[in-house]
Amino acid sequence: MAQLSKQDKNDALRRIAETIRQNSQLICRANRHDIQAAKQAGLSEALIDRLLLDEARIEGIARAVEEIIQLPDPVGQVLSGETMSEGMQLINVRVPLGVCGIIYEARPNVTVDAAALCLKAGNAVILKGGKEAIESNKALTRLMRQALEEVELPADCIQLIEDTSRQASIELMELRALDVLIPRGGAGLIASVVEHAKVPVIETGTGNNHLFVDATADLSQALDILINAKCQRPSVCNAIETLLVHRSIAEDFLPRVMTSMSERGVELRADEVARRVLSSAKALTQTDYATEFIDLILAVRVVDDIDQALDHIATYGTGHSEAIVTTDYDQARRFQQAVDAAAVYVNCSTRFTDGGEFGLGAEIGISTQKLHVRGPMGLVALTSNKYLISGNGQVRG
């Protein structure tokens, strides 16, 4: 795998896209089994929608693979180099990571996205999707493996664990043969991976994010950003969960929050001070601050100043995306310096934390950890590097 040419990898990806496109009916049939089982199990409409594949979504999956073909191949890039003082040539070159384990939840498109990104980076991948999507995942994986064989690559560089038991998940987590383990999903999954993993883990996708509206904020701008960051797609990790409002503007701003949130069906849970203005809001509990609702629910707290906002974010934030709305230069600068998160925004929406938006192309998740990769995790984060030293007899003095 590590020694495949760029051409070979792109040919394989092209064949995967074609095979998926040509077999869309077969995929839809497999998917209907999952949908039926999901309905019988009484899963929510939102979950069933995430599970659903139709012709248009399958075309989207194939197109996403074709977009990965267009990305520059990171493998083999020379990152640095020099002639060492003893005369050897030293170069540091990008290489694949090796074997990636990816554990994810319901959405079957992740099966293809993750496999295609790993293939492009020269990695083998072991996939473990949610049990709800097992028939769809099996069909998609079978087609990808068939495509690999057609271009004479080993099918085993894309593997799906078909056993959907929890035990099978834990066995994958404990596998020392993996070079990296990437959980993609909720806090529970990530905690379980961190607990069991024996190899490096890249935590992705928990976003307990905040919007702080400062004393000097342009309140119309703040409201637009709030609506976008909370309501545009509440189920994603770059949405916000808590609104922090500076005490001095709370009376002006909160009534506008109440109107626009209630228009959009957002449930407000407010602290005592905020509830003096937000008459219809529920009283919040301490756990609300620590909860990633990923739903149309917003916690609201009035803070005395930026220090209290920074403390709140340091206490409850998950290091994903944090935003301030302010017209004060020093406060903007301070917020970006002091907040310890992957992405820190001034006067714009947290919804921009995304591989495509940040110019990295397709992503395998948003890393909330500080090592190896922080923020959107694209193709380059699926690689490592090695030093190559070429001499003619040098020994160390």
User: Where on the chain is the footprint of a second copy (CB under 8 A)?
Assistant: 2-3, 82, 84, 86, 88, 90, 95, 97-98, 179-180, 194-195, 198, 200-202, 218, 221, 224-225, 227-229, 232, 332, 336-338, 340-349, 351-353, 357-359, 369-372, 374-375, 384-396
3-state secondary structure of 292: coil
Residue where the block lists tokens 């019988």: 40
Provide the residue type at 339 as one letter: V
Element at 190 (helix H, strand E): helix 187-196
User: Nearest Cα to 229, choosing from 309, 317, 325?
Assistant: 325
The answer to whether the Cα torsion of 335, 336, 338, 341 is positive or negative is: positive
Q: Closest Cα to residue 378, out of 98, 67, 35?
A: 67
**Residues belonging to the chain:** 397
> In the numeric block, which tokens belong to residue 321?
């995306």
Alpha helices in 41-174 (DSSP H): 45-51, 55-70, 109-120, 134-150, 166-173
Q: Which two tokens stand for residue 42?
A: 């009484």
Angstrom distance (rounded) from CA 135 to CA 133: 6
Provide Rg for the chain, Cα atoms. Answer: 24
Read off φ and ψ for residue 386, nearest 5 degrees. Answer: -145, 155
Q: What is the DSSP secondary-structure string of 199-245?
A: S-B--B----EEEEE-TT--HHHHHHHHHHHHHS-TTSTTSEEEEEE
The two three-digit tokens of residue 370, written as one number: 């500080």
Please report how close the Cβ of residue 311 comes to a second copy at its closest, in angstroms: 15
91 is written with which tokens?
A: 């170069």
Provide the minimum distance between the beta carbon of 334 and a second copy in the complex, in angstroms, as a whole number.
9
Q: Closest by alpha carbon to 236, among 316, 320, 317, 301?
A: 320
Spatial distance between the Cα atoms of 313 and 366, rounded to a whole number of angstroms: 18
Please state, in angstroms and rounded to a whole number, the distance separating the CA atoms of residues 243 and 209.
9
Q: How far apart are CA 251 and CA 276, in angstroms?
A: 9
Which letter does DSSP use for residue 48 in this model? Answer: H
**Of the two residues 139 and 362, which places its CB atom closer to a second copy in the complex?**
362
